[in-house]
Structure 1
Amino acid sequence: MTDALDRDLYERTKALLEPGDIELEGVIVHTDLGSEDDLEMHELTVDLNEVIAEHAGKGETYIYAGNDDTDFASNQFQGLTLEDEEFVWECQQLLREGTFDIVFYFEATADAEAIAAGVEDLGHGATVVP
């Protein structure tokens, strides 16, 4: 993280991971996707759902967009298990200086380093936020 925006995003993400009902960790996914890349953002979110689900050990998941829930913001999504709709991850897609960073939160029992490696395998940068 070389600039103030990355440091700010890291610190804000870390603050959101403060202890609550479950212990969370996070990964910031750095992309070169802009606001005109809607389809690519969708495809990346689907791919990242698979990466996180694999390393969280929760089984098959689906992506909930929250369009019917006033507690959700636009560009906010959750990965939930197919079996019992248990929380696996949540993300925010944030447009910063013309490109998207996606902040994923997941239970601390997931392998954050393996998730970050999976992000990098997909061709994007990743910053783990413990």
Structure 2
Amino acid sequence: MSETVDDDLYKRTLALLEPGDIELVGAIVHTDLSGQEDLEMQELTVEINEVISDHAEKGETYIYAGNDTPDFSSNQFQGLTIDDESFVWECQQLLRGGTFDLVFYYEAGVEQEALAADLDALDHVERVTQVP
């Protein structure tokens, strides 16, 4: 993927983290999964849910697809706690340059370096770009 595309994705992700109700940080998970590997991409999203949830220390989570609300677009998901449906993370699954990039953002306070290292160790992850 070109540096220009990476730079554009980074800037767009950074814009999603603009101040709101809670302070957010993020990670772009660049994968080797092609557009024909939707199932593997979904499985990777489940694995990433577990890693982010562990680092966020918010308890057990589930993945909400938002199919019942017009506020969500396709390939947009949230990780919510089972106990009280609190926000843990949100992601966009993007097909860019022939492979999936998964853009996650989550509440600040997570040790970004440790989280990125754990994400980078997952199968199909090419690299992880941290977004402050």
Question: Aligned runs of 1:4-83 on 2, under 5 Å?
Answer: 4-83=4-83
CA distance in 2, matches of 1:36, 1:67: 22
1:18-65 Cα offsets, whole Å, 9 max, x none, are: 111100000000001112101101110000000000000100000001
- TM-score by structure 2 length? 0.94
Q: Any gaps of 5 or more consecutive residues in structure 2?
A: none
The count of corresponding residues between Structure 1 and Structure 2 is 130
Q: Any gaps of 5 or more consecutive residues in structure 1?
A: none
Higher strand share: 2
Question: Aligned runs of 1:119-130 on 2, under 5 Å?
Answer: 119-123=119-123, 124=125, 125-130=127-132
Give the AA of the match of 2:110.
A
- TM-score by structure 1 length? 0.96
CA distance in 1, matches of 2:44, 2:7: 24
CA distance in 1, matches of 2:40, 2:2: 26
1:2, distance to aligned residue in structure 2 (A) = 6.0
Query: Residue 103 of structure 2 corresponds to which residue in structure 1?
Result: 103
Moved more, 14-23 or 110-119: 110-119
1:110, distance to aligned residue in structure 2 (A) = 1.8
CA distance in 1, matches of 2:62, 2:68: 16
1:72-115 Cα offsets, whole Å, 9 max, x none, are: 00000000000000000000001111111000000001222222
Percent of aligned pairs with the same residue?
68
CA distance in 1, matches of 2:26, 2:68: 25
Stretches (4+) displaced over 3 A: none
CA distance in 1, matches of 2:2, 2:131: 16
1:89 aligns with 2:114: no
